[in-house]
């Protein structure tokens, strides 16, 4: 209540009490033995009470007049403390902390799988330039179809929690991406390519801020990526990478430079892979309510070989499934196609939103 409303209420309450006191005084039985002195004192008390009642009546009347003169909304205002607006950079840190807690709760549930990178299924994945040369090693009956199925499964498990106090979580993760010629029945619908990506990494949650951006997470990882084939289709490499994720409101930005662990020439299936895949990935993402747009950029600018992936997803049904469109252009979409330029459009579904997944890669 406002101070004016409180005054009116208190004045009314005081008036009621005084009136009640006056009635009690007036209705009290008078003793025949009471002395004149006591009667005189009682009369003085009554006169004082009546005078006080009169004064309160006048004050109450005046306050009512002021209250009626106030605008309607001002009179109804309550003494509610203003809500503090949380700075954007603090929101990013809070979201990162909440994400970590959700992931740790999932890890403690033996019936739950903790998502790592995006999990998606694209029943329709169309490319204008399939890798026909590589496909001949799989089937010489028929060439590859332009339309295939693309999907990715990615999960992680926590091995150690809080290695360095409140931060430093050790994980093992596994990601698998497949390109399946499901509609190519003439060639017995083979899997054209599958990439296997196990890795072990240490997560460091962070709240360091610069220029309005919050560094919410850093990841140091040892990563293996291969297609599990024998020569001449064998492709593989081992890397150490450091990924840093920055967030500012509905924007997120990721840098993930890597270093390739050297191999001997006799064991290296793809000695020129750096020329096409480059030395890291850069990602930028934007959240529009529950919808998400992201752009991935990789390659070797000095060699003129680049790869770009654009993703857009939105919630469907009860929100656990998302509609998803993905566009890829350039080199490095898969291991077998690291030196083959693709122009691909895919449509389907994904499960985990990007902003809660903790990784801005692929």
Active site residue ranges: 224, 226
Q: Of 156, 153, 176, whose CA–CA distance to 100 is shortest?
A: 156
Per the CB < 8 A criterion, the answer to whether 298 and 276 are in contact is no
Rounded-to-integer distance, Cα 214 and Cα 245, Å: 8
Strand ranges in 211-250 using DSSP code E only, listed in sequence order: 213-226, 236-248
Sign of CA dihedral 17, 23, 29, 34: positive
Can you list the pairs that 204-208 forms with residues at least 24 positions away whose Cβ atoms lie under 8 Å? 204/164, 204/167, 204/168, 205/96, 205/97, 205/100, 205/167, 206/96, 206/167, 207/93, 207/96
Residue with tokens 């930005």: 253
Dihedral, 248, 252, 273, 230 alpha carbons, nearest 10: 140
199 C-beta neighbours (distance < 10 Å), count: 20
- Per DSSP bridges, beta strands 191-210 and 169-180 are antiparallel
């Amino acid at each position: 209540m406002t101070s004016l409303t409180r005054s009116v209420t208190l004045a009314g309450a005081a008036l009621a009490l005084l009136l009640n006191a006056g009635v009690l005084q007036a209705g009290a039985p008078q003793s025949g033995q009471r002395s004149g002195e006591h009667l005189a004192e009682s009369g003085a008390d009554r006169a004082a009470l009546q005078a006080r009642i009169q004064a309160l009546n006048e004050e109450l009347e005046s306050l009512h007049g002021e209250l009626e003169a106030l605008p309607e909304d001002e009179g109804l205002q309550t003494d509610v403390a203003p809500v503090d607006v949380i700075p954007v950079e603090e929101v990013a840190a809070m979201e990162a902390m909440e994400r970590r807690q959700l992931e740790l709760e999932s890890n403690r549930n033996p019936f739950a799988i903790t998502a790592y990178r995006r999990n998606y299924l694209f029943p329709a994945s169309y490319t204008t330039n399939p890798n026909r040369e590589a496909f001949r090693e799989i089937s010489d009956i028929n060439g590859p179809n332009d339309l295939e199925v693309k999907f990715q499964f990615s999960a992680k498990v926590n091995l150690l929690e809080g290695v360095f106090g409140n931060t430093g979580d050790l994980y093992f993760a596994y990601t698998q991406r497949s390109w399946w010629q499901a509609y190519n029945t003439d060639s017995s619908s083979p899997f054209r390519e599958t990439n296997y990506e196990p890795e072990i990494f240490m997560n460091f949650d962070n709240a360091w801020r610069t220029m309005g951006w919050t560094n919410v997470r850093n990841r140091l990882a040892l990563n293996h990526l291969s297609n599990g084939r024998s020569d001449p289709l064998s492709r593989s490499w081992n890397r150490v990478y450091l990924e840093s994720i920055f967030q500012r409101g509905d924007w997120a930005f990721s840098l993930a430079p890597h270093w390739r662990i050297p191999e001997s020439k006799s064991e290296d299936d793809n000695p020129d892979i750096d020329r096409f895949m480059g030395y890291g990935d850069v990602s930028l993402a934007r959240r529009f309510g529950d919808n998400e747009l992201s752009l991935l950029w990789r390659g070797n600018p000095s060699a003129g070989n680049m790869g770009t992936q654009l993703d857009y997803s939105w919630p469907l049904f009860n929100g656990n499934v998302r509609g998803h469109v993905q566009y890829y252009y350039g080199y490095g979409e898969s291991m077998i196609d690291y030196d083959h330029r693709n122009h691909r459009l895919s449509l389907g579904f994904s499960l985990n939103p990007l902003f809660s997944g903790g990784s801005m890669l692929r």
